[in-house]
Amino acid sequence: MGNVLVRRGRWAGAVEHYQEALRLRPDYAEAHNNLASALGRQERWDEAIGHYRRALEIRPDFDAARDNLDRILSESGGVGPRDRDVARPRGRPGS
């Protein structure tokens, strides 16, 4: 349901649905990523960054979350030393 609300531009409703998904399944990386995206659309930068980081803690190879984190850090101007560590380029061979 959260994804449907995002497509309709209903960010607050989407946030509520993603939060409920995380209440039921706290280690659901995709829900953290989606929640962060909806929060970012509301310019709730700190909350969004925290959820992108959590998605990457759960799934370090989650490239979409890493790309989204890079983007939101750039948009929000929130790049600090810790952020650079999290947002660094992927460490996979050949990347």
47 CB burial (10 A radius; 0-12, 13-18, 19+): middle
CA distance 54 to 48: 10
Place of tokens 């709730």: 44
Q: How confident is the model at residue 7 (pLDDT cuts 50, 70, 90)?
A: confident
C-alpha dihedral over 50, 52, 55, 57, to 10 degrees?
Answer: -60
Q: How confident is the model at residue 85 (pLDDT cuts 50, 70, 90)?
A: low
The predicted-structure confidence for 48-71, as pLDDT tens digits, reads as follows: 999 999 999 999 999 999 999 999
Domains in the chain: ranges and CATH: 2-86 (1.25.40.10)
Contact (Cβ atoms closer than 8 angstroms) between residue 95 and residue 89? yes
Q: What is the pTM of this model?
A: 0.78
